[in-house]
Structure 1
Amino acid sequence: MSLKESLKNFIKNQFIEVIEWTDPSVDTIVYRFPVANKEIKMGAMLTVRESQVAIFVNQGELADVFGPGLYELSTNNMPVMTKLNSWKYGFNSPFKAEVYFVNTKQFLDQKWGTKSPVPMMDPVFGQIEVRARGTYSFRVSDPVKFMREVFGTKESLKTSEITSQIRSYIIQYMKDTMAESKLSFFDLQGNLVEFSEKVKENLSAKLGNLGIEIINLTIEDFSMPEELMEAYREGAKYNLIGGFDRHVKKETLKALNTAAANEGGMAGLGATLGAGLFFGNMMKESFSHPSGTENVLCPHCRNVISANSKFCSNCGKPLGAETTSCVKCGAEIPKGSKFCMSCGAPQTTEKTCPECGAKISARAKFCSECGAVCMS
C-alpha cells in the first residue's frame, strides 16, 4: 500500500461518515452512538429507522432532533448545532457531537404487583389489606423530555432500570383511586376493567411529565389475606344453610346419629342426647333475646343483634343495604355505586343532548327541549 493510500485511510478512519443504530435487543430504550474521540464529517449519512428518534447533543446541551428517515448532515438540517457553534453558511468542516438514539416503540408485557399488602377501607369488612398484580405497556412519547428528566448522561438505558419506579407509581395511584371510588373488595373484583382504566387515567399525567406514556394497564387480580377469605367463606356457608342456629341443630343431629351407631347402644345415645340438649340450650341462650326473637350477626362488626333491628346497636350502621336501579340496564345495584355490576355502565344521573346541549335524564331517549334522539 502506497503512502498516499495509507494517509487517505488514516484520515478516513478519523471521521464518522455513517451514523445508524440497529437494535438487536428488546429492552433498550436509549443508545449512545460510539463517537469516542472521532469527529463527524459534514455530509455524513444519518439513518433513523421507524420507532427511533436521533438527538444530537452539543457540549452537554440538547440540539437537533431527527425523526425516521435518511439524512445527509449539513447546516440546512442542523439549525440548532449551526447556531450553537456559530457555523457560517456552507460550513463544511468535521465537527464533534454526541448522538443518542431513543427507542419510541411500545415495551409490552411489563409485570407489576404489590410487594406487601395495601390497606383499604372496605364498606363491608372495614379496614383490610389487599394484594394486586397485573401487566402494563409503555413507550417514550416525548424523547427530549425523557432525555432531560430520566436518562441523564449514561451510554444506554434498559427497561429494567425504570420499571421499578413505574411500578411504584402504579401502586401509589391505585391506592388513591381505591380511596376515591369507595368500592368494596368484591365491587373492585367485578369491575377490574373500569378500575384499571381509572388508575391509568390518574397515572398518565404523572408519567407524561417524564416523557412516558402508559399505553395499557391491566389489573389481573385483587386478593385478600387467606384468614379473611376463610372467615368470609364460613359466614357464607352459614347463610347458605339457613343461619347459625340451623347449623347447630344439624351438627347435634349428626352427633346423635353417630352415637346411636357406636358401641354402647341406648346408653351412649342417652348421654349424647343430654349433651346435645345442653349444648343446644346454651347456644340458644347465647344467640337469643329473652323475648324469644331470633338473633343474627351484624355484617359490619359481627356483633350479635336482633334479626328485627334496622341498625346495629354496636356500630350504628344500617343492616339493610340500600339499592337503586342502573341508569342503563335497570339492574338492582348498591346505592352510591359508580358502575353497574351487570352492564358496567357509569352511573351518571344526567347526560347532554348532542343537538342543543340541554341537560336531560340519563334514561331519556328524546331531548325534552328540542326533541332530538338521545339514545347513547
Structure 2
Amino acid sequence: MNIGIDKIGFFAPPYYVDMTKLAEARGVDPDKFTIGIGQDEMALAPVTQDAVTLAANAALQIIDEEDKEKIDLVLFGTESGIDHSKSAAVYVHNLLGLNPYARSVELKQACYSATAGIQMAKGHIALNPDSKVLVIGADIARYGLGTPGEATQGAGAVAMVISKDPKLLLLENDSTYFTNDIMDFWRPLYSENAYVDGKFSNEQYILFFNKVWEKYKERTGRTLADFAALCFHTPYTKMGWKALRTILEEGTEEVQEKLKANYQTSIRYNRRVGNIYTGSLYLSLLSLLEENDTIQAGEKIGLYSYGSGAVGEFFTGILQPDYKKYLHINRHEELFRSREEVSVEKYEEIFQNTLPSDGASIELESDNDPSPIYLSGIQDHKRIYVNRIR
C-alpha cells in the first residue's frame, strides 16, 4: 500500500522582527545573524497565540469536510505543550470540528516528535486503509531576550494529512534512526525558556546525521546520486548546511551542485520564520515543494529529523504526479505578505507579555490578532479558545 503526505499546510503568527535590526539593537554585526546563523526574519507569537492555536490554524487551511470525517487519529508533536495531562491534540480536534470517533494524542521528543507521529500514522493507515491521520508540529521557540539563543527563536506550525495514495509525497519504509541519552538541549518543567549547550548540540546534530546516513546507505545501497534534494531539521538554516556539506564529496560535481541549490530552496521559508522546533523539517520540505521549479514527479527526497536529547532519523519520499497542483502556494504567499513587521522595542514588549503563572483568570485583547483561531483568555485555570469562522 502506498502511504504518505496527502496534504500539507503552514501557519505563522501575524508579527515578525527583522534580524538585521535585531542585530543592530544588540550591538552585533548583522552578518552574524543573516549569514552566520542564516536567518532574515523571526516570527513572533502574541499572547493570543500558543502551540494549540498555531496548530489549529495550520490545519484549518488544508482540511475539508471529507477529511473531517475520515481523520480518526490526531498526532500533535510539540515541546510547547500547555498542560501536563490534557493533550494539545484534543483541543485541536475540537477547534477543527473533527469526527468525534477518533484518537487524539500529544507526542514529545524535542524537535523529533512530529516525525514520530508520521511513522505512527503510517502504521495506522496500513491497518485502516480508509482512515486519514492529522499530524502536526507546532511550537514557540523561546530562549530569552539578549541571550545567545535569541537569534534562533521563532513560532509556527505545519500540519499534514497522512493517507493512502497520497497526492504529494509517498513515504518509503527504509528509514534509519538512532537514539542516545545526551543533554544538548532541554527545558525543565519549571522554566519558560529552554537551555542549550550550543556547541555540543551542533556536534551531536551532525554526528546523528552521519550515523543514520551511513546506516541508510548500508541497508539500501543508495547514494547521493539517488536524491533530488535533502531536507533538514533547521533550528537555524545554517545548521542543515553544516550537516549536508559533511557528505557532499560523496557525489559528483553535478550532484553536489543540485543538492546545494535545492538546499537553498528548502530554507527560504525557514529564513523568514525562524525555529519552530517540531515543524522545522516540514517547513523546509514545504519550502522545497513550493519554491522549486526543477524537481519532477518520481524523484526522491531525503529528510533528516533530529530531536535533542536525542533522537535522529533519516527517511525518504517520492514525489507524486502533479504534486504542485495540490499545494497552497498562493495562500502561503499571502500569509507572508500579511504579516506585520514590528520594531525591536515592540518585539520585546510582545515577548514579555505572557500569561499569568499563578493561575489567575484573564481576558485577552484579540483585536490585533487577525488569526482565525486564537486564545481569548483563561478562566478557572482553563484556556478559552475561539474559532472565528465556526
Please indicate, yes or no, whether the TM-score normalized by the shorter chain is above 0.5.
Answer: no
Per the normalisation by structure 2, the TM-score is 0.20
Larger Rg: 1
Q: Does 1 or 2 have the higher relative contact order (CA < 8 Å, sep 6+)? A: 2
Per the normalisation by structure 1, the TM-score is 0.20
Question: Larger helix proportion, structure 1 or 2?
Answer: 2
